[in-house]
Structure 1
Amino acid sequence: MITFVRRAAVLCALGTTLTACGTAEAPPARRPAPTAPSAAPAAPSAAPAEPAPARPPTLAPGPAGLTPVFEHGPRAGGKTVALTFDADMTADQGARAEAGERFDNPRLIATLRKLNVPATVFMTGRWAEEYPDEAAFIGRDPRFEIANHSYSHYAYTDDCYGLPTVSERRMRSDVERAYAAFEKAGVRNAMPYFRFPGGCYDEAALEELAATGVTAVQWDVVSGDAFATDADAVARQVLEGVRPGSVVVMHCTRSAAPVTAEAVRTIVPELRRRGYRFVKVSELIDAANSRR
């Protein structure tokens, strides 16, 4: 299902651990890559250039060129499901990280790798700055794809679960700054997908982000893992909600979602027993495009 202009209904409220953030600023201008002198002859023994990698699938722009919004894949044609994980961290949480609070979750990533589960990680730029080695490690693993969850984790609308808001004029630079943080951390293949902080958006936000070329990715299954302490309850909520083509939202943040890895160890084998195949968001979007 594809929607274009509406505000997402989020079923789980995020607490303050996932909310505070710094004001986004435009990333520094990138220096253009140097070009070879025009007079330099090509080496006769040079290997032929490799073909450019295929562009990741995205949705066509919505009405009036607005940023398209994706919620779930096709319901028919096979049992597929995408697990997605929000790696949340905000600018003013650096002091808390220095004091020992962990906003990463390597145990979760190890669990997904052990179970051989593809997944899409929606990462804030601040998370990539705090954990650059982990960001690069996730980005190198073909099981995973990294997508954009903003730099600041400020909301893109007013009244979004207590999140501070980023001004309209800074929305685009907030997205671009996150991509710059990924590249600096060593992530070279971040996907052109964006998840709104808090899941909140409106027409103005979709208009502001249109120039970035991203597809906004929401979800149709809320795991309830944020601040949960009962892994079985999280697993039940996911298993009760999944349908073919579902996008499940979970978190990759130890301090704010401590039982997610444990819940995944229940969710994955049960969905496989039911005949589901795990895919990344890109595969669901590709499938949606093929049915248009």
Structure 2
Amino acid sequence: MGTPGASAPPVSPASPHTAGSSPAASPPPAKAPTLAPGPNGLTPVFERAKQQTDKTVALTFDADMTSDQGQRAADGEHFDNPQLIATLRGLKVPSTIFMTGRWAEEYPDQAKSIGTDPNFEIANHSYSHHAFTSPCYGLPALDAAAARADVDRAFAAFRTAGAVNTVPYFRFPGGCYDDQALRAVSTAKVTAVQWDVVSGDAFAKDPDAVAEQVLTGVKPGSVVVMHCTRSAAPVTEEAIRKIVPELRKRGYRFVKVSELIGK
């Protein structure tokens, strides 16, 4: 398969951003919009903008790390992807990072850098990356009380790291949920954010295939799910350098989830 669209030049990895180093981007709203609760007070779920005439698209990245992967990180496995973040900055792509609390604890400097850069907003992907319903890709499951506490613990980890651009959005680990899971997190007053475009970057080895899958699936108002972890998604950064210029060529504008919600 040929390369979809022109590739942007590589961008050098960035350390925590400084004034003038991050691209111009609108700061997050003082209060990020959320959806009204669903039936019987269940947590609302957002997948794609209702307003589907504007050519906007939200690229979202799951910064995954489970609560039991600390030793693997200590042994040298990389659950972060600073090159990806640098490329998003260099290409001036506003993005939403769905971060686990354990990731923020392992990489506090990166969490702070992302969470103080107006180009990004940090949303909650749980603390432990354990399942909120079962079965879910073999993930260990949490009961309702533990699930609610897990959400709070992740937000606390973001605060401890110094991230300030956080939004009240939650993505279920594995994307797995049911009414019981929606009920368990309802008191957290978050909007659950899913997606309508699966990038296929998890464990992928061919960036062209990932780019092609995204470019084929994107529609006005789409939410794309990708990953921000080198060990489990090693070609995401390269795919982004193909996806971004091609979507811009097609007239798309990149936005954070907070801009899509409510449209």
- Distance across 2 between alignment mates of 1:75 and 1:247: 13
Report the counterpart of residue 52 of structure 2 in structure 1.
Answer: 76
Of the three residues 242, 250, 260, the one matched with 1:274 is 250
- Distance across 1 between alignment mates of 2:116 and 2:201: 26
- Give yes or no for the alignment of 1:247 onto 2:223: yes
| 1:67-112 Cα deviation digits (max 9, x unpaired) | 0000011353310000000000011111111111100000000000
Which aligned pairs between 1:160-179 and structure 2 lie closer than 5 A?
160-179=136-155
- Distance across 2 between alignment mates of 1:89 and 1:54: 29
- Distance across 2 between alignment mates of 1:154 and 1:72: 25
- Give yes or no for the alignment of 1:145 onto 2:104: no
The amino acid across from 2:209 in the alignment is A
> TM-score if structure 2 supplies the norm length?
0.88
CA contact (8 A) 1:220 1:246 kept: yes
Q: CA deviation at 1:54?
A: 2.7
- Distance across 1 between alignment mates of 2:166 and 2:51: 27
- Distance across 2 between alignment mates of 1:76 and 1:256: 32
Report the counterpart of residue 48 of structure 1 in structure 2.
Answer: none
Which aligned pairs between 1:121-160 and structure 2 lie closer than 5 A?
121-160=97-136
Report the counterpart of residue 214 of structure 2 in structure 1.
Answer: 238
- Distance across 2 between alignment mates of 1:227 and 1:54: 36
The amino acid across from 2:192 in the alignment is A
Of the three residues 260, 265, 280, the one matched with 2:236 is 260
CA contact (8 A) 1:75 1:243 kept: no
The amino acid across from 2:244 in the alignment is V
- Distance across 1 between alignment mates of 2:94 and 2:63: 16
Report the counterpart of residue 201 of structure 1 in structure 2.
Answer: 177
Paired residues, what number?
235
- Give yes or no for the alignment of 1:223 onto 2:199: yes
CA contact (8 A) 2:207 2:235 kept: yes
SS at structure 1 position matched to 2:184: helix
**What are structure 2's unaligned runs of at least 5 residues?**
1-28
- Larger Rg, first or second structure (1 or 2): 1
Report the counterpart of residue 163 of structure 2 in structure 1.
Answer: 187
The amino acid across from 2:99 in the alignment is M
Once superposed, which parts of structure 1, at least 4 consecutive aligned residues long, lie more than 4 Å away? none
| 1:108-155 Cα deviation digits (max 9, x unpaired) | 000000000000000000000000000000011111000000000001
CA contact (8 A) 1:74 1:244 kept: no
Report the counterpart of residue 108 of structure 1 in structure 2.
Answer: 84
Question: Quick one: structure 1 residues 113 and 189, their matched pair in 2 at CA, closer, same or farther if it must change by over 3 Å?
Answer: closer
- Distance across 2 between alignment mates of 1:86 and 1:176: 18
SS at structure 1 position matched to 2:150: helix
CA contact (8 A) 2:58 2:222 kept: yes
Report the counterpart of residue 55 of structure 1 in structure 2.
Answer: 31
The amino acid across from 1:139 in the alignment is G
**What are structure 1's unaligned runs of at least 5 residues?**
1-52, 288-292
- Distance across 1 between alignment mates of 2:51 and 2:206: 30
| 1:2-55 Cα deviation digits (max 9, x unpaired) | xxxxxxxxxxxxxxxxxxxxxxxxxxxxxxxxxxxxxxxxxxxxxxxxxxx731
- Distance across 2 between alignment mates of 1:220 and 1:199: 12
- Distance across 1 between alignment mates of 2:57 and 2:34: 18
Q: CA deviation at 1:277?
A: 0.4
The amino acid across from 2:189 in the alignment is G
- Distance across 2 between alignment mates of 1:239 and 1:155: 30
CA contact (8 A) 2:171 2:193 kept: yes
The amino acid across from 2:237 in the alignment is A
